[in-house]
Amino acid sequence: MAGAHALCMIPGPVEFDGDVLAAMSTPATSHVAPAFLETFGRALEKLRVVFAAPSAQPFVFAGSGTLAWDATAANLLEPGDAVLVVNTGIFADWFGECLGVYGGDVTQLRSSGFGDRPALGQIEEALAAKSYKMIVITQVDTSSGVLNDVKTIAALVSRVSPDTLIVVDGVCSVGGEALQQEAWGVDVALTASQKALGVPPGLAVLMVSQRALKRALDRTAKPTAYFVSFKKWHPIMQKYEARQPSYFATPPVQLIMALDTSLTHLVAAQADGAAASRRWEEHVAASATVKDALEAFGLTLVPTHRDHAAHTLTAVYYPEGIDGPALLKAISERGVVVAGGLFPGKAGTYFRIGHMNISATRPDLHHLETTIKAVKEALTSLGYAFPSK
Ligand SMILES: *Cc1c(COP(=O)(O)O)cnc(C)c1O
Q: Compute the distance from residue 172 Cα to the ligand 1 centre, in Å.
A: 7
pLDDT at residue 272, as a whole number: 72
pLDDT, tens digit, for every residue of 332-377? 999 999 999 999 999 999 999 999 999 999 999 999 999 999 999 9
pLDDT band at 191 (very low <50, low <70, confident <90, very high): very high
- 87 CB within 6 A, ligand 1: no
For residues 146 and 305, give the distance between their C-alpha atoms in angstroms, rounded to a whole number: 9
Which residue CA neighbors atom 6 of ligand 1 most closely? 65
- Cα(43) to ligand 1 centroid in Å equals 21
Domain 7-14+273-381 -> CATH class: alpha beta
Distance between CA atoms of 239 and 41, rounded to whole angstroms? 8
β-strands 82-87, 105-110 pairing: parallel
Ligand 1 pocket residue status of 198, Cβ below 6 Å: no
The model's pLDDT over 23-81, given as tens digits with 9 standing for 90+, comes to 999 999 999 999 999 999 999 999 999 999 999 999 999 999 999 999 999 999 999 99
pLDDT at 273: 61
Name the residue of 91, 173, 199, 255 whose CB sits within 8 Å of the most ligand 1 atoms, as the mutation to test its pocket: 91
Reference 259, options 203, 180, 343, 322; nearest CA is: 203
142 lines ligand 1 (CB under 6 A): yes
> Best of 146, 168, 172 to mutate for ligand 1, by most ligand atoms within 8 A of CB?
172
Q: Is 65 in the pocket of ligand 1 (CB under 6 A)?
A: yes
The pLDDT of residue 95 is above 70: yes
Q: Across residues 180-200, what is the average pLDDT?
A: 98
Look at domain 18-267 and name its CATH class.
alpha beta
Give the distance (Å) from ligand 1 centre to CA of residue 99: 15
Please tell me if the CB atom of residue 332 comes closer than 6 angstroms to any atom of ligand 1.
no
pLDDT band, residue 21 (cuts 50/70/90)? very high
Residue 292 clears pLDDT 60, i.e. is over it: yes
Provide the mean pLDDT of the chain.
Answer: 97
Judge if the upstream peptide bond of residue 13 is cis by omega within 30 degrees of 0.
yes
Q: What pTM was computed for the model?
A: 0.97
At residue 1, the pLDDT reads 42
Q: Write down the H helix ranges in the chain.
A: 18-24, 34-50, 65-76, 90-101, 120-129, 150-160, 181-184, 210-218, 230-241, 253-268, 278-296, 324-332, 358-361, 367-381
* Binding region: 352
What pLDDT was estimated at residue 389? 72
The residue whose CA is least distant from atom 5 of ligand 1 is 65
Average pLDDT over residues 321-328: 97
Report d(CA 33, CA 257) in Å as an integer. Answer: 13
Q: What pLDDT is recorded for position 4?
A: 75
66 CA distance to ligand 1 middle (Å): 6
Q: Is the distance from the beta carbon of residue 172 to the nearest atom of ligand 1 less than 6 Å?
A: yes
Domain spans of the chain, in order of start: 7-14+273-381, 18-267
Check pocket membership of 252 for ligand 1, CB cut-off 6 A. no
pLDDT tens digits, residue range 112-133?
999 999 999 999 999 999 999 9
In which band, very low, low, confident or very high, does the pLDDT at 298 lie, cut at 50, 70 and 90?
very high
Numbered residues of the known binding site for substrate:
352
pLDDT tens digit sequence for 128-170: 999 999 999 999 999 999 999 999 999 999 999 999 999 999 9
Query: Residues 6 or more apart from 62 whose CB is under 8 A from it?
Result: 202, 203, 204, 249, 250, 251, 252, 255
| Ligand 1 and 61: CB distance under 6 A | no
What is the predicted pLDDT for the residue at 2? 46
Q: Determine which residue's CA is closest to atom 2 belonging to ligand 1.
A: 171
Q: For ligand 1, is residue 294 a contact (CB within 6 Å)? A: no
Q: In this predicted structure, what is the pLDDT of residue 211?
A: 98
Question: What per-residue confidence (pLDDT) applies to 271?
Answer: 81
Q: Distance between CA 230 and CA 214 in Å, rounded?
A: 10
**Cross-strand bridge partners of residue 82:** 105
